[in-house]
Structure 1
Amino acid sequence: MPKRSTGETPFSLVYGTEAVIPAEIRVPTQRILAFDTENNSSILRENLNLLEERRIMAAIRQADAKQKMAKYYNKRVRYVQFKEGDLVLRDNEASRQEKQGKLGPRWEGPYKVVKAHPNGSYTLSAPSGEEIPRTWNAMSLKKFYA
């Protein structure tokens, strides 16, 4: 079966022609009825000459499909940004600070954002003012509303 992303079958991208399956031999299809043994080798050579072009076109279609999937995914992504001085809650699963259980707390805090780094990570400080030793990704934080 042709792949949706490339529009080609893997067999055709490797060998330059479509495979003949046993079912096609038993029940004659148009392809089997139109088979010409005299011109077969020249047609196969022609297909091999065009193989590189088919691979390039398949790569272009695959890149286009990948770009469409990324656009679809990125449409639903919410970017979260915090400013210095914002109060945030930290994901308990990311910090593993408190013992988690089935009914354990999901978030811990509040913490204060001390510094916002350009790569989307944040330095936090505890309510007592002491700085938390590592940086935290925005995915592990959520805004705290007091």
Structure 2
Amino acid sequence: MFSITYETEADIPAEIGKPTIRTTEVDLEQNNEALEINLDLLEERREEAAIRKAKSKAKIKKYYNAKVRNTSFKPGDLVYHNNNGSLAGDTGKLGPKWEGPYEVTEALGKRAYKLKDRDGKQLSRTWNISNL
């Protein structure tokens, strides 16, 4: 990864100050040729890294999407809505998490729905499917 980012191999700080075989026996002309070859191969290494990244993202997406369930409601379906979504107030730790049942009266698209309660009173706002 260091060579992809900085286009050269890393020197350990201990090797910079003290003369070692690696630093004293270096042939600068051969070293420059090797650096040029590395520069030529750099773009290929970056492409390989991008391909690995894309494969990894695709694998993660496939794993995530395997667990997602597509849900939709039709008018007339009965649903409960989340108390956190209603902003009704703090019900406390032991309070109910869901309210309902409510009847779906209209599907507005983009996973939004209009609801009415059991008395036939229309709720004032729309509800997203993530809160139903």
The bucket for the TM-score relative to the shorter chain is 0.7 to 0.9
Residue of structure 2 in register with 1:78 after alignment: 69
Residue of structure 2 in register with 1:52 after alignment: 43
Tell me the matched-pair count: 127
Look at both structures and tell me which one has the larger radius of gyration over its CA atoms. Answer: 2
Secondary structure in 1 aligned to 2:109? coil
Secondary structure in 1 aligned to 2:64? helix
C-alpha displacement at 1:21, in angstroms? 3.4
Following superposition, which runs of at least 4 residues in structure 1 exceed 6 angstroms of deviation?
Answer: 23-26
C-alpha distance in 2 between matches for 1:70 and 1:120: 21
Matched, 1:103 2:97: no
C-alpha displacement at 1:96, in angstroms? 1.7
Q: Deviations over 1:91-120 (max 9, x none)?
A: 001112143201111001111111123322
Secondary structure in 2 aligned to 1:64? helix
Q: What residue identity is the alignment partner of 2:76?
A: G
C-alpha distance in 2 between matches for 1:78 and 1:24: 56
Bigger relative CO (Cα 8 Å, ≥ 6 apart): 1
- Whether the 8 Å CA contact 1:15–1:48 is kept in 2: the answer is no
Q: Deviations over 1:46-81 (max 9, x none)?
A: 212222222222112111100100101111112222
Query: 1:3-18 alignment to 2 at 5 Å?
Result: 9=1, 11-18=2-9
Aligned identity (percent) is 50
TM-score where L is the length of structure 2: 0.80
Q: Structure 1: any 5+ residue segments left out of the alignment?
A: 1-8, 142-146
Q: Structure 2: any 5+ residue segments left out of the alignment?
A: none
Q: Which structure shows the bigger proportion of residues in helix conformation?
A: 2
Q: 1:134 to 1:21 in 2, by over 3 A?
A: farther
Q: What residue identity is the alignment partner of 2:48?
A: M
Q: What residue identity is the alignment partner of 2:111?
A: G
Secondary structure in 2 aligned to 1:50? helix
